[in-house]
Amino acid sequence: MKTTVALVESPGQPFTLAEVDLEGPREDEVLVRIVATGLCHSDLTVRNMLPAEMFPNVFGHEGAGVVEEVGANVTGIEVGDHVVLSLRSCRTCAQCAAGYYGHCEQGLFINYMGMRMDGSTTYTRDGQAVFGSFFGQSSFSQHAIAYADNCVVVDKALDLARLGPYGCGFQTGVGTMLNVANPSADQSVVVFGVGSVGLAALAAGRTTGATMVAVDPLASRRELAESYGALTIDPTALGDVSVVDKVKELTGGGATYGIDTTAVPAVVKSAQQSLAVRGMLIAIGLGADEYPIDAVDLLQNGKVVRSSLEGDADPLEFIPRMLAMADELDLDRLVTPYPFDQINQAIEDSASGKVVKPVLVW
């Protein structure tokens, strides 16, 4: 079938709407008519990181839509179902069996390499391959091929135009807070960078009763963080006081947990130094090649520095859990809809801080 996609022709180039051919679903695949897709920082980072031979490419990994066709071997999903799309996992390897679906042993190939396992692409143009299958969906498209392992069936009464971010950004923030940190009411969490992921973490943290601190230079983001119950720090307005010292002041000696969403090396180092003895830093930002570590601080204070992918969540279980908590989390107010043909404006507005979470709607 013909469908329209937001296509990137070469590394770092803008998105342009283009018509391509989409192959129908194979026996293990699901054809979804996309209603809306969240714009995630990972789409832009990977767009700039992939080699030229992996273009043209269709990104998008926070899709929400309606199932139009189901492969013969797919169970539990029917034509007409409303679905939220998330990352893929094989669900049979040792990591998946242990519940770490984000660290699936096949995850790199099935989420990032732009093709099926047999090397074919779901999209073509003029008979030539167009890379896609990003997170097993490439949902910057009016129609996308997905799979049973990353299609989450949701209540048809919910507004699909606002659900896409639950597939990645919101899941990453909420999952990092509840699955990885899981603080108690007598503990504290500092979040460095409060875009959509950081704010989702704070929204979840509010449900735990823990003391929360948010560090961000944008006043509008700090205001939102405060609305989720966080104390806030403007790192550009501290004078001679360091961010580390300010975090320790607000948390009574250092945070039990730190979450970094920025991937800025100097910020990650400050986040580590802001922790209390035996504190844990969870680095979830994408974009840096390496981070500096304060080795003396790490060794003397028994701190832990680790990562998390998609909040260590099983999307098939965790997305319904988040939707059941939707009123308590109050994340929908972070969403700003844009028509799909305004995707580049949405990117610009997100980068400037004008909006928190753009969602592109067909």
Nearest alpha-carbon partner for 190 in 205, 168, 208:
205
- 126: alpha, beta or left, given left = phi > 0 and alpha = psi -120 to 50? left
The overall average pLDDT reported for the chain is 97
170-310 under CATH 3.40.50.720, yes or no: yes
- 245: alpha, beta or left, given left = phi > 0 and alpha = psi -120 to 50? alpha
Fold of 2-167+331-361: Quinone Oxidoreductase; Chain A, domain 1 (3.90.180)
Q: What 3-state class would DSSP assign to 255? A: strand
User: Do 170-310 and 2-167+331-361 have the same topology in CATH?
Assistant: no
Q: Are 83 and 151 in contact (CB under 8 A)?
A: yes
Q: Phi and psi at residue 85, in whole multiples of 5°?
A: -100, 140
Q: Are 251 and 190 in contact (CB under 8 A)?
A: yes
Q: What is the pLDDT of residue 316?
A: 97
Per-residue pLDDT of the chain (362 residues; tens, 9 = 90+): 999 999 999 999 999 999 999 999 999 999 999 999 999 999 999 999 999 999 999 999 999 999 999 999 999 999 999 999 999 999 999 999 999 999 999 999 999 999 999 999 999 999 999 999 999 999 999 999 999 999 999 999 999 999 999 999 999 999 999 999 999 999 999 999 999 999 999 999 999 999 999 999 999 999 999 999 999 999 999 999 999 999 999 999 999 999 999 999 999 999 999 999 999 999 999 889 999 999 999 999 999 999 999 999 999 999 999 999 999 999 999 999 999 999 999 999 999 999 999 999 99
Task: Compute the distance between CA of residue 287 and CA of residue 360 in angstroms, rounded to an integer.
Answer: 23
Indicate yes or no: pTM above 0.85. yes
- Counting residues of the chain whose pLDDT is more than 70, the rounded percentage is 100
Q: What is the pLDDT of residue 180?
A: 98
Per domain, the residue ranges of the chain are 2-167+331-361, 170-310
Task: Compute the distance between CA of residue 293 and CA of residue 272 in angstroms, rounded to an integer.
Answer: 8
235-277 residue pLDDT tens: 999 999 999 999 999 999 999 999 999 999 999 999 999 999 9
